[in-house]
């Protein structure tokens, strides 16, 4: 079998409050992969509406995520930046995959359980089949690598199962490749600044729980100063972080932002107080996130340019997607190709 071209696809939902976890877990890694892979980066607006979004805010947030990709260093000319809803084949393939994936598989998805909460009957059907749409996003381009945060690992495993079952059901060995998750760096699961046992998330009601990409220097410093800690001095070794989620989180963020191994960062702060770490971390975060936030603001002031980038990206994405979707239609037995 010939090796597929290494092709990267990943997405971020335009649901507002884009945060440091989204940056360190995903967007920052998007940038590095451009050197070695053909990359498609998608603002997944169709995923966003699995939970109701105000239409005007959805449009603004879609531009904001695109601006974040570009401000962080994604090159929309050499690679492809687009929003999912402009490439109709995502929805088309998702329907086919809805008919391939099994209920039992989706019932195991922990993100649905967390997001639907206690009142599952009231969750949208879209939220339940979200992982099938995510599988479609990836398989539509026969993408081989998917940079994501740790929380998306289970969905990636499901995408692999769906690809395998499609290939088996339609007697098309190796038609869809098995996409590999790329979970890179020391901050694959950035935790809430208010509670080290909870993921940093866009939907946390507390704004102090997250550093957003558009936070001003004062806000970044304030949120880090107020971050939850424990009463002890910082540990001497990485093993000493066991059972100390807040210390692990702040040191992990420091390691990721400074591009240093965690062990080296832990050694540097060994025996010091949280207040020392917080001062240095605030300076570092302002230095790294501040310029990206400023560039996002500049880009957001020119929505027509962002819209043109997304339209161009969508056209180039469709050019890859349509022939693959054409093959899917034939394999499934749909007439009219």
| Cα 260 to Cα 263: distance, rounded to the nearest angstrom | 8
C-alpha count within 13 angstroms, C-beta hemisphere, residue 109? 26
Residues 94-113 contacting ligand AQP, CB under 6 A:
none
Considering the rule CB under 6 A, would residue 43 count as an interface residue with ligand AQP? no
Considering the rule CB under 6 A, would residue 132 count as an interface residue with ligand AQP? no
The binder of ligand AQP chosen from 8, 9, 26, 97 (CB under 6 A):
26
Name which of 22 and 132 has its Cβ closer to ligand AQP.
Answer: 22
| Cα 167 to Cα 149: distance, rounded to the nearest angstrom | 27
Q: Give the single-character DSSP code of 64.
A: H
Mask for 138-177, x = binds ligand AQP (CB under 6 A): ----------xx-xx-------------------------
What SS3 class is residue 132?
A: helix
Helix then strand then coil, in percent of the chain rounded to 5, is 60, 10, 35
| Cα 163 to Cα 149: distance, rounded to the nearest angstrom | 21
Which of 77, 113, 198, 199 is an active site residue? 199
Part of the chain binding ligand AQP (CB under 6 A), chosen from 97-105, 193-201, 221-229, 294-302:
193-201
Q: Is 202 a catalytic residue?
A: yes
Considering the rule CB under 6 A, would residue 89 count as an interface residue with ligand AQP? no
| Cα 263 to Cα 273: distance, rounded to the nearest angstrom | 17
User: Using N-to-C axis directions, what is the helix angle for 55-72 and 274-300, rounded to 10°?
Assistant: 110
CA-derived radius of gyration, the chain: 21
Which of 153, 165, 202, 278 is an active site residue? 202
Name which of 151 and 180 has its Cβ closer to ligand AQP.
Answer: 151
Q: Is 113 a catalytic residue?
A: no
User: Is the torsion defined by CA of 58, 183, 6, 167 positive or negative?
Assistant: negative
Q: Is 330 a catalytic residue?
A: no
**188 touches 150 (CB < 8 A):** yes
Residues 6+ apart with CB under 8 A from 309: 66, 70, 76, 81
Name which of 170 and 204 has its Cβ closer to ligand AQP.
Answer: 204
**148 touches 189 (CB < 8 A):** no
Rounded to a whole number of angstroms, the minimum distance from the CB of residue 236 to ligand AQP is 26
Considering the rule CB under 6 A, would residue 127 count as an interface residue with ligand AQP? no
Residues that contact ligand AQP, how many (by CB under 6 A): 21
Residue nearest to ligand AQP (CB): 25
The binder of ligand AQP chosen from 144, 201, 212, 214 (CB under 6 A):
201
Part of the chain binding ligand AQP (CB under 6 A), chosen from 23-31, 52-60, 260-268, 313-321:
23-31
Rounded to a whole number of angstroms, the minimum distance from the CB of residue 37 to ligand AQP is 16
Binding site for ligand AQP (CB under 6 A): 12-13, 15, 19, 21-22, 24-26, 148-149, 151-152, 188-190, 199-203
Residues identified as active-site: 115, 199, 202
């Amino acid at each position: 079998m010939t090796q597929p071209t290494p092709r990267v696809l990943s997405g971020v939902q335009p649901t507002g409050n884009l945060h440091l976890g989204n940056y360190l877990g995903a967007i920052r890694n998007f940038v590095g992969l451009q050197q070695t892979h053909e990359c498609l980066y998608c603002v997944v607006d169709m995923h966003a509406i699995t939970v109701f979004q105000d239409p005007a805010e959805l449009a603004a947030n879609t531009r904001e995520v695109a601006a974040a990709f570009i401000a962080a260093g994604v090159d929309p000319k050499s690679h492809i930046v687009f929003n999912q809803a402009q490439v109709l084949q995502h929805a088309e393939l998702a329907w086919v995959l809805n008919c391939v994936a099994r209920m039992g598989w989706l019932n195991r998805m922990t993100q649905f359980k967390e997001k639907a909460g206690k009142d599952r009957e009231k969750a949208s059907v879209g939220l339940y089949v979200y992982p099938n749409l995510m599988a479609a996003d990836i398989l539509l381009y026969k993408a081989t690598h998917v940079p994501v945060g740790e929380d998306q690992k289970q969905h990636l495993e499901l995408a692999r199962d769906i690809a395998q079952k499609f290939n088996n059901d339609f007697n098309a060995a190796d038609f869809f490749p098995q996409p590999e998750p790329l979970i890179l760096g020391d901050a694959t699961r950035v935790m809430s600044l208010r509670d080290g046992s909870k993921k940093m998330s866009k939907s946390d009601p507390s704004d102090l729980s997250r550093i957003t990409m558009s936070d001003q220097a004062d806000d970044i410093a304030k949120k880090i100063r107020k971050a939850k800690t424990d009463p002890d001095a910082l540990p001497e070794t990485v093993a000493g972080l066991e059972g100390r989620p807040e210390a692990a989180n702040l040191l992990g963020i420091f390691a990721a932002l400074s591009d240093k191994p965690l062990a080296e960062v832990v050694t540097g702060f060994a025996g010091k107080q949280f207040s020392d770490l917080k001062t240095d971390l605030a300076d570092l975060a302002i230095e790294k996130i501040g310029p990206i936030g400023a560039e996002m603001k500049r880009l957001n002031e020119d929505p027509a340019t962002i819209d043109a980038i997304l339209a161009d990206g969508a056209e180039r994405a469709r050019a890859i997607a349509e022939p693959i979707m054409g093959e899917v239609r034939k394999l499934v037995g749909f007439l009219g190709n």
